[in-house]
């Protein structure tokens, strides 16, 4: 029986976007209490950093888990083309009824990458830095509610 080493490859992209944290499930008063300054009616902006990690065997023939050029291509389509320089709430249909928290931005990116990666089963983690201090990761896990 043969075995292959398992590698993790990560690529980073940065995008700028604005948004407003406002839940349709809460009253205006509740939104102010929950989101504070982030509920500002005219929104606010971030310079987001996204780290996407693929996990898989280091293939003997190529020496790679996946060609980073392929990851770069998929991230351009699934992240940059749809989120960079956008108003998340108004320009991205997914966020019409989904609050544009960094958790949900991470889930959106994960879902979109699975549609555009040549080998979506390699997707291991999406990590989004909303600010230098606020960082959220999603690994495609769900919990039955």
The answer to whether residue 85 is catalytic is yes
Among this protein's residues, is 125 annotated catalytic? no
Query: Which parts of this chain interact with ligand LPXRUNBV (CB under 6 A)?
Result: 21, 38, 44, 101-103, 130-131, 133-134
The burial class, CB within 10 Å (0-12 / 13-18 / 19+), for 6 is exposed
Catalytic residue list contains 51: no
How many whole angstroms separate alpha carbon 137 and alpha carbon 7? 19
What six digits make up the tokens of 70?
A: 């392929």
CB of 17 to ligand LPXRUNBV, least distance (A): 11
Q: Report the nearest approach of ligand LPXRUNBV to the CB of residue 28 (Å).
A: 18
Catalytic residue among 13, 19, 22, 130: 130
- Of the residues 18, 38, 103, 125, only one is catalytic, namely 38
Q: E-strand spans in 1-145?
A: 6-19, 44-57, 86-87, 123-129, 135-138
Query: What are the structure tokens assigned to 9, written together?
Result: 């490859």
CB of 44 to ligand LPXRUNBV, least distance (A): 6
Which residues are annotated as catalytic? 38, 85, 130
């Amino acid at each position: 029986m043969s075995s292959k080493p398992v590698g993790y490859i990560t690529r980073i992209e940065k995008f700028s976007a604005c948004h407003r944290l406002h839940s349709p499930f809460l009253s205006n008063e509740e939104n102010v209490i929950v989101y504070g300054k982030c509920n500002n009616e005219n929104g606010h902006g971030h310079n987001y950093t996204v780290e996407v990690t693929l996990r898989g065997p280091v293939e003997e023939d190529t020496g790679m888990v996946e060609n980073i050029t392929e990851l770069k291509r998929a991230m351009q389509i699934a992240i940059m083309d749809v989120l960079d320089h956008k108003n998340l709430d108004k320009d991205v249909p997914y966020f019409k009824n989904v609050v544009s928290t960094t958790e949900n931005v991470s889930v959106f990116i994960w879902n979109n990458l699975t549609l555009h990666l040549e080998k979506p089963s390699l997707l291991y983690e999406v990590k989004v830095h909303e600010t230098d201090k606020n960082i959220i990761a999603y690994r495609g896990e769900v919990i039955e509610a």
